[in-house]
Amino acid sequence: MPFIKLRKFPSISNWLKVFIMNGCYKLFLWQSFLWYNGKNILKGGVMKEYISKAELTNTIKASYKKYIDEFENISEDFKDKRFEEVDRTPAENLAYQVGWTTLLLKWEKNEKAGLEVHTPSENFKWNNLIELYRWFNKEYSHLSLAELKSILNKNISDIYKMIDEMSEDELFKPHQRKWADNSTKTAVWEVCKFIHINTVAPFGTFRTKIRKWKKLALQKN
């Protein structure tokens, strides 16, 4: 058999460096965020479209009520109860919503004030979402369920005000906010889509999570 000289391929670490340098890593993490924030973010590969402020607000109200009502019969004594089959405790589930809605409001507030906006936050980049979620837990999950629900209720009310104060163009046309443009280097997203992925979509996905947690709580206690 003739001798065949094999070409030396770069190591996995070198491939990873190229992957990151090409910007693909950031795109992968952004897509992971979209997937994690809810399977109902995209339906048939198409982002849900809104045609009016009223439709957006009413959709948030409907999804939020279904989500928040799930916590009515969960005792404070069980807020930190963990089951390995579910990735978040009730407190961590609410902390996630509080974290993202707080950031969304902060992006808008800071841009309106003429401040530089860092998305997702000053201390975390899109390639460090795992650490951001840990920060959410550290910052919020020690609170009671009542306190978390109160903060989230306030945030949702403020998001309704944010929607009301925006023009139709600001909500539904692209390039209306720097923070929106800076968050998606590979796509053009209107502000309404950012509102959707930080309210409607995770409320649906995380409602499924808390319902699974409640089912396990009944089975194991």
**Is position 130 within any domain?**
yes
Summarize the confidence of residues 191-208 as an average pLDDT.
Answer: 97
Which domain, by its residues, includes 56?
A: 52-70+87-220
**Is position 105 within any domain?**
yes
Q: Are 24 and 31 within 8 A, CB to CB?
A: no
CA nearest to 104, candidates 201, 197, 181: 197
**Is position 63 within any domain?**
yes
**Is position 32 within any domain?**
no
Residue 193 has pLDDT above 70, yes or no: yes
**Is position 114 within any domain?**
yes
Summarize the confidence of residues 143-155 as an average pLDDT.
Answer: 98
CA nearest to 159, candidates 40, 14, 73, 56: 56
Count the alpha carbons within 13 Å of 216 in the hemisphere toward its beta carbon: 17
Give the CATH number, domain containing residue 123: 1.20.120.450
Q: Tell me the percentage of the chain whose pLDDT exceeds 90.
A: 74
**Is position 154 within any domain?**
yes
pLDDT, the chain, mean: 86
Summarize the confidence of residues 17-40 as an average pLDDT.
Answer: 48
Summarize the confidence of residues 76-95 as an average pLDDT.
Answer: 97
**Is position 75 within any domain?**
no
Tokens of 64: 């939020």
How does residue 20 score in pLDDT terms, banded at 50, 70 and 90? very low
Q: How many domains does the chain have?
A: 1
Q: How confident is the model over 86-136, as pLDDT tens digits?
A: 999 999 999 999 999 999 999 999 999 999 999 999 999 999 999 999 999
DSSP states of 15-58:
HHHHHHHTTHHHHHHHHHHHHHT-TTSEETTEEPP--SHHHHHH
Summarize the confidence of residues 73-80 as an average pLDDT.
Answer: 97
**Is position 197 within any domain?**
yes
Residue 19 has pLDDT above 70, yes or no: no
Residue 47 has pLDDT above 90, yes or no: no
Instruction: Tell me the pTM.
Output: 0.82
